[in-house]
Amino acid sequence: MVKFLTIGRIINTHGIKGELKVFPDTEKNDRFEELEYIYIDKNGSLERFLVEGVRYHKNLVLIKLKDIDNINKAEEYVGCKVKVDRENAISLEEDEYFICDIIGCEVYTEEGKCLGRVEDVFKTGSNDVYVVKGLDGKEILLPAISDVIKKVDIQKGVLIVHLIEGLL
């Protein structure tokens, strides 16, 4: 399992005092207010920062971090991912999963036929869609709905699905 979860991406600076504009990769933006610290993934190396302040502007999170106190220092992190360790991740409801835990899972039909591996997850207006790379190299798009996704076992890295008409 992935130890650090991406919760956003730094898209720009804000002002001259080192604030960072973060595009959130989470459905619960208010989760930023609960963080004592975050990690910034800069070229594959994680740097830990204490969070001094969080506010919101439109669909973005403006975050102030200790030791980033001017625009020049803030510019060094534009384009980097914002991460949290799994211990500080939000609590999930039943039948909710982190995308990073779904990606890489092997997908089997209820009859035990292997369809491939989840390569990506994308959001639509109503539900997520799992992109499965089939054993033949073709993509299979599976809607993340209870009629299709019958069982998720993150520990084993396996999804069991029911193929409704039109999916293949």
User: Tell me, what's the pLDDT at 31?
Assistant: 81
* 40 and 109 Cβ atoms separated by less than 8 Å: no
Domain with 109 in it: what CATH number? 2.30.30.240
pLDDT at 20 over 80: yes
Q: Of 65, 88, 111, which residue is a domain's last? A: 88
Please check whether residues 22 and 48 belong to one and the same domain: yes
93 found inside a domain: no
Please check whether residues 26 and 46 belong to one and the same domain: yes
Q: Which domain holds residue 74?
A: 4-88
Please check whether residues 37 and 79 belong to one and the same domain: yes
Q: Which of 18-27, 92-101, 103-112 has the weakest average pLDDT?
A: 92-101
Burial of residue 10 (number of CB atoms within 10 Å: 0-12, 13-18, 19+): buried
- Collapsing DSSP states into helix, strand and coil, what is residue 99? helix
Closest CA to 77 of 97, 108, 48: 48
Q: Which residue has the tokens 């604030």?
A: 19
- pTM assigned to the model: 0.75
Question: Alpha-carbon Rg of the chain, whole angstroms?
Answer: 19
Mean pLDDT of the chain: 91
Please check whether residues 14 and 79 belong to one and the same domain: yes
